[in-house]
Homo-oligomer: A and B are copies of this chain.
């Protein structure tokens, strides 16, 4: 890192455009706009696309960005440089990782995940299992029971480190070790980890890791996903999605597929250049912060929030682990009428989100949320809950997307 690291997050807070009169506790779903992104994207559009047109692939560096930008994310998750690449969506990256992982343990048929995994990860596994039609079994157990189900039948352990509903965090190092001891492969989805807390995929021995960049990383709506493959596996990974940009020589237009030598083989098609420009601006902020500082601030904010809500809103039942060491960077509460309650909070300027059936979810993102925001959010939520502002017809109707 050549840049000076920022330790005072009031500096990073000023780098984001935050909507007026809004306390945004949903950066775990979609990060806000880094102010510098507007100019970076405009430059990509008018100068790169507009003036360079096709030559932008080389002259503006578009073709290389999926690997060069990915390495900046790699620093945040402990990936060895050159072993992570951006592209596609997280669901597609899950598919690639699982297909490659199953190839590595051809004599086993069990995939283990937990009921707290994001549904799309489970859906993609279902689809792959159906397509392969080779007797694979997807075992879905409760998060706390995962360790007990790792045995010598297991082909692949596929987990999201931080539960999207509760914020419960798996012990990535211990579960990976246990999977390896059983002869299995471990895939980690870092959707709610990357940019939320320090991750060390290499140190944990993770075999594959995937994640998205539009949540804590603030890459913007539709930002691409990433995939990490441990260096020891890459040469044996035959990509299921063997697209031309994963070919050893994409522009030779050879008649047959030859995978690229390294992580490049996990590329598929044309990179999303405009989304990458936005991500570049977001990563310029991440390049200047240390995840340990982020984690310390996050724990302080989540602890403050839990204490504040529990002191003022007895009807809200904590759904997240009380122990910060077992918790990601979000806090969830259960409330039977949680959908309406969250709509009422949003109407009052506190933006979190709702996850069925009864979870009110709040994300804490120290880059742009501070203790004053948390205190104000607690006061507003307390008013919504104690004055029953949610018990109005306008908040009771269910939207398609929340």
A372 at the interface (CB under 8 A from B): no
Name 11 interchain pairs, CB-CB below 8 A, sorted by A.
A30-B53, A32-B50, A54-B353, A58-B401, A88-B88, A119-B254, A120-B269, A123-B256, A221-B271, A251-B356, A253-B356
Asked if A222 and B274 make an inter-chain contact with CB atoms under 8 angstroms apart, the answer reads yes
CB-based nearest B residue for A126: B257
Known: A95-B241, A120-B269. 5 other contacts (CB 8 A): A26-B54, A32-B50, A89-B268, A124-B243, A222-B275
Bound CA span A308–B391, Å: 75
Instruction: Name which of A212, A220, A242 has the most chain B CB atoms within 10 A of its CB.
Output: A242
Contact flag A243-B274 (CB < 8 Å), given A54-B30, A56-B221: no
Bound CA span A289–B339, Å: 45
Bound CA span A133–B195, Å: 39
Instruction: Name which of A29, A240, A245 has the most chain B CB atoms within 10 A of its CB.
Output: A240
Which of A33-41, A178-186, A312-320 lies at the interface? A33-41
Report B-chain residues with C-beta under 8 Å of the C-beta of A393.
Answer: none
Report B-chain residues with C-beta under 8 Å of the C-beta of A245.
Answer: 120
Asked if B50 and A33 make an inter-chain contact with CB atoms under 8 angstroms apart, the answer reads yes
Asked if A53 and B41 make an inter-chain contact with CB atoms under 8 angstroms apart, the answer reads no
- Top 5 nearest A-B pairs (CB, nearest first) are A89-B269, A127-B242, A120-B244, A91-B243, A222-B272
Asked if B244 and A214 make an inter-chain contact with CB atoms under 8 angstroms apart, the answer reads no
Asked if B58 and A400 make an inter-chain contact with CB atoms under 8 angstroms apart, the answer reads yes
Segment 313-364 of A: residues with Cβ below 8 Å from B: 346, 351, 353, 355-356
A57 at the interface (CB under 8 A from B): yes
Report B-chain residues with C-beta under 8 Å of the C-beta of A54.
Answer: 26, 29-30, 351, 353
Asked if A62 and B221 make an inter-chain contact with CB atoms under 8 angstroms apart, the answer reads yes
Report B-chain residues with C-beta under 8 Å of the C-beta of A136.
Answer: none
A130 at the interface (CB under 8 A from B): yes
Asked if A115 and B255 make an inter-chain contact with CB atoms under 8 angstroms apart, the answer reads yes
A402 at the interface (CB under 8 A from B): yes
Report B-chain residues with C-beta under 8 Å of the C-beta of A296.
Answer: none
